[in-house]
Structure 1
Amino acid sequence: MNKVFKALSDPTRRRVLQLLRQRPMSAGELSDHFAVSKPTMSAHFAVLQVAGLIEAEKSGRTIIYRLVMSVLEEALLGFAHTLGWGLESKRSTRVNHNKVAKRPVKGEA
């Protein structure tokens, strides 16, 4: 969780995550949104990858980044739990909503 919050502490990295919510993007496409050097952007991408917030896929000389929402959700839920907020993960909520009481079939005891 500490790596996730370290990654989220920088406004540039938060903006990268916002951009990746729209769709996967190449390193070049993402870098075009910022007035910093490519090595600086690479460092930001590395921090986000170490935190597990983004995944990189290399295609030739191009690197495509994708957002990993589940890591962010789990970190935020863990933080909420630390504060005593009673939040459930979407997964457990879906499981609970999908459970249906089993009704006895006619003729069964």
Structure 2
Amino acid sequence: MNEAFKALADPTRRQIISLLKEKDLTAGEIADNFNMTKPSISHHLNALKQAKLIIDERRGQHIWYSLNTTVLQDTLSWMLDVVQYKQENKGDN
């Protein structure tokens, strides 16, 4: 889960996640939404893949990227547990 948090700390990567929530995209389609080089986009995609937040799949001549909802759900669940615990124990300070 640490890798997921490290990957999500970057605003470009969070924007990529937001794009992928709409639909699967190729690297080129993702790059079209940013004012940066394709190698830079590739670096961000690799960081998200290493964190297991996205999945890549070859379809014909293109690689398509999609969200790995399992890891995103696990990360979100952990965060919600922390917030809920904090709310329930607010008066214990």
Q: Can you give the 5+ residue segments of structure 1 that lack an aligned partner in the other structure?
A: 87-109
In the other structure, the counterpart of 2:88 is: none
**Corresponding residue for residue 38 of structure 1:** 38
Letter in 1 for 2:36: V
Matches within 5 A, 1:23-62: 23-62=23-62
CA RMSD in angstroms, aligned pairs only:
1.4
TM-score by length of 1: 0.72
1:85 maps to 84
1:56 maps to amino acid: D
Instruction: Return the alpha-carbon distance in structure 1 between the equivalents of residues 20 and 71 of structure 2.
Output: 14
Structure 2, unaligned runs of 5 or more: 86-93
* TM-score, length of structure 2 as denominator length: 0.83
Counterpart AA for 2:64: I
Q: Share of identical aligned residues, percent? A: 40
User: Which of these two proteins has the greater Rg computed from alpha carbons?
Assistant: 1
Residue equivalent to 1:17: 17
- 1:34 aligned partner, one-letter code: F
Higher RCO structure (Cα 8 Å, ≥6 apart) = 2
Size of the alignment, in residue pairs?
A: 85
In the TM superposition, residue 68 of structure 1 has moved relative to its aligned partner by 1.2
Give the structure with the larger helix fraction. 2
Give structure 1 regions of 4+ aligned residues with deviation exceeding 6 angstroms: none
Shift in CA distance, 79/38, structure 1 to aligned 2, threshold 3 Å = same
